Amino acid sequence: MKISIDGDLCQGHSVCMAECPEVFQVTEPQDGYPVVTVLVSEPAEALREKVTMAAKYCPNNVIIIED
């Protein structure tokens, strides 16, 4: 499983981090809007359900999962 994001669409809702903090981290720069970072681009299979939930509930459909 490989994770990528469309950073242009991310609005920093942090739903992804709430669902799967092992993979997604949302940080708020001092001079900008919060934005997601993928901590692990190829996470272990054990995290598939959490990653899938993060992608499902991301309001902007930012998260892309490839097999």
CA atoms within 13 A on the CB side of 39: 13
* 20 interacts with ligand SF4 by CB under 6 A: no
* 21 interacts with ligand SF4 by CB under 6 A: no
CB atoms within 10 A of CB 37: 13
Element (H, E) at 57: helix 48-57
* 51 interacts with ligand SF4 by CB under 6 A: no
* 13 interacts with ligand SF4 by CB under 6 A: yes
Residues lying near ligand SF4 in the complex (CB under 6 A): 5, 10-16, 24, 26, 36, 58-60, 62-63
